Amino acid sequence: MRIDLHSHTNCSDGTDTPTELFRRAARLGLDVLALTDHDTAVGWAEAAAAADEVGVEFVPGIEISTSHRGRSVHLLAYGVDPEHPELAAMLHGIRGGRAGRLAAMLAKLADLGVPVTEEQVRRMQGDAPSLGRPHVADALVEAGYVADRKEAFDRYLSDTGPAYVKRWAPGVADAITAVRAAGGLPVIAHPWGRGSREVLDADTLRGFVAAGLAGWEVDHNDHDPAQRAHLRELAAEAGVLTTGSSDYHGIGKYEHELGCNLTDPDVWEEIRHRIG
Ligand code: AMP
Ligand code: ZN
Ligand code: FE
Ligand code: FE
């Protein structure tokens, strides 16, 4: 069984449509794939239909942008009801914060000598309800300032870059509570990846388990082998699940091919049982 529990489409900042995503999953021999776009479930219906067609099991998910001590923490929510009022309001607020920071980012980019317009960025966003820095990166690429998204992040848009602007996000514990209320299973994405590592020490993770966290990603390309071993040990101590995923974004993110990391079939059975 090949199980990948974290991927993106052009409903947020990936580049494949949900249909393309599931066709690719079938070609690559995946059995199970979760679609976890940032802060939206809008791709689920198309993904479910495409998954049916190609014979891959679709897992509904959302990657929720939360924060802890000023750092960005991503919370995967499997099997949630996105219309649950508390969660829907939270997601709406997060997407509003995403859009709200755009003007400030564009002003910084103009000051840095690489002006792009809101109209250009919105064209890159297309119909995606969730605006992200990768769309700003795409506008910089189109304008010819940088070669690709990676260079745009390295020079301007990373969390420590000169054009970075913070956006509103709910606290991790509040998001865990909202996900549970909406019938979902909350799992922290790449806890020791970029940004969140400094704020997610063992005690903090244990605190989130007490608040209802079901587990965390271990096998993710942002984690090296030593981090994976340590995260697995902490999860065993805390009695929570560990998952693996590609965090595939299409051509928007390199070295994250679908299926490059997988979730253990026993863990998947447990997750399926709990969200069923
Ligand atoms: P945002 O959600 O607007 O804060 O943007 C964060 C998103 O940008 C992440 O979820 C990734 O998809 C993407 N991202 C972050 N850093 C990089 C990078 N160095 N190269 C390409 N994409 C990145
Ligand atoms: Zn993303
Ligand atoms: Fe993430
Ligand atoms: Fe992701």
Cα 237 to averaged position of ligand 3 atoms, centre (Å): 24
Element at 88 (helix H, strand E): helix 85-100
Q: What confidence tens digit (pLDDT) does each residue in 66-120 have?
A: 999 999 999 999 999 999 999 999 999 999 999 999 999 999 999 999 999 999 9
Contact 235, 215 (CB under 8 A): yes
Strand-pair partners of 65: 74
Cα 63 to averaged position of ligand 4 atoms, centre (Å): 6
By CB atoms closer than 10 A (0-12, 13-18, 19+), residue 160 is exposed
Whether the model clears a pTM of 0.85, i.e. scores above it, the answer is yes
Give residues (CB < 6 A) around ligand 1.
13, 38, 65, 132-134, 149-150, 153, 158, 249, 253
Q: Which ligand 1 atom lies nearest to the CA of residue 134?
A: 8
**Structure confidence at residue 255 (pLDDT):** 84
Q: Which amino acid is at 100?
A: G
Task: From 10, 11, 13, give the residue whose CB has the most ligand 1 atoms within 8 Å, as the site to mutate.
Answer: 13
Average pLDDT score over the chain: 97
Q: How far apart are CA 82 and CA 101, in angstroms?
A: 24
- The mean per-residue pLDDT over the stretch 39-54 comes to 98
Provide the strand spans (E) within 45-166. Answer: 57-68, 71-78
User: Does the structure show a pLDDT above 80 at 236?
Assistant: yes
Cα 100 to averaged position of ligand 4 atoms, centre (Å): 21
DSSP state, 258? T
Q: Which amino acid is at 214?
A: A
Q: Which protein residue's CA is at the shortest distance from atom 2 of ligand 1?
A: 132
Q: What confidence tens digit (pLDDT) does each residue in 12-23 have?
A: 999 999 999 999
Distance set, CA 89 to CA 44, 51, 67, 73, 170 (Å): 19, 28, 17, 19, 11
- The mean per-residue pLDDT over the stretch 136-146 comes to 98
SS3 78: strand
Q: Which ligand 1 atom lies nearest to the CA of residue 98?
A: 3
Q: What confidence tens digit (pLDDT) does each residue in 149-197 have?
A: 999 999 999 999 999 999 999 999 999 999 999 999 999 999 999 889 9
**Structure confidence at residue 258 (pLDDT):** 98
Contact 129, 160 (CB under 8 A): no
Q: How far apart are CA 10 and CA 150, in angstroms?
A: 17
Alpha-helical segments (H) within 126-256: 133-142, 149-152, 172-181, 202-210, 225-238
Q: Which amino acid is at 30?
A: L
Contact 146, 155 (CB under 8 A): yes
